[in-house]
Amino acid sequence: MSNPESLLVDMDGVLADTMGGVFDLLDDDHAHEDVYDYWFDGLDKKSIIEALRSDGLYRHLDVITGAVRGVNRLREEFNGNVYVCSAPMSGAEHCETEKREWLEEHFDAEFAMQAIITADKTTVPGRLIIEDNPDVAGGMWRPVMFDQAWNRHVDYPRMYGWHDLQVVRDEYQRATR
């Protein structure tokens, strides 16, 4: 389990390109920059939610560029005190299993098993969380925003991709209580 010193890492939109997977399924010509709202305001919400509940979606998502190298380096630097913290999609029973299988494929069995899949991230202990959800709040951790079109209106410390690890190290130090 994670602890108050842990580094937490969200999965959808941070490690896995969930929006890309949705666009592929819907076979439409939207691009990530069209999603300016985390809750899909201005888009066909119903089809998107349906796609997010499809069998196999979470199992086959693309890895966001650099995520495996970046996370593995942080795991080394933080002595393994790094945990995936991801919410399951409501109405998609296969979601948690698929997410763990995906993590095992791209990382390893231990990392997959230790992943925290929970609908309420505020109860998860940690010092910092790497997130793309602009509304994330209420936990003991501090957020670092993983830059996406849908979170540019919030002014948390921000990483612009997995090449951008220094902000994580800096914010982790800053979050020391």
Nearer to Mg ion, 13 or 134 (CB): 13
Among 6, 9, 10, 168, the residue binding Mg ion under the rule CB under 5 A is 10
Chain mean position to CA 155: 18
Residue 44 to residue 139: CA distance in whole angstroms: 31
Residue 151 to residue 154: CA distance in whole angstroms: 6
Nearer to Mg ion, 39 or 173 (CB): 39
Query: Least distance from C-beta 136 to Mg ion, angstroms?
Result: 8
Among 2, 132, 141, 172, the residue binding Mg ion under the rule CB under 5 A is 132
3-class DSSP state of 10: coil
Stretch touching Mg ion by CB under 5 A, among 6-14, 44-52, 115-123, 151-159? 6-14
Among 6, 13, 15, 103, the residue binding Mg ion under the rule CB under 5 A is 13
Taking a C-beta distance cutoff of 8 angstroms, is the pair 31, 98 a contact? Answer: no
Query: Least distance from C-beta 92 to Mg ion, angstroms?
Result: 15
Stretch touching Mg ion by CB under 5 A, among 3-11, 26-34, 37-45, 90-98? 3-11
Quick count: other Cβ atoms within 10 Å of Cβ 132?
A: 22
Contacts 24+ apart (CB under 8 A), 20-25: 20/61, 20/62, 21/51, 21/57, 21/58, 21/60, 21/61, 21/62, 22/48, 22/51, 22/52, 22/57, 25/51, 25/54, 25/57
Query: Least distance from C-beta 5 to Mg ion, angstroms?
Result: 22
Nearer to Mg ion, 12 or 17 (CB): 12
Nearer to Mg ion, 6 or 18 (CB): 18
> If you search the block for the tokens 């010092």, which residue do you land on?
127
Among 12, 17, 98, 171, the residue binding Mg ion under the rule CB under 5 A is 12
Nearer to Mg ion, 74 or 130 (CB): 130
Site residues, Mg ion (CB under 5 A): 10, 12-13, 132
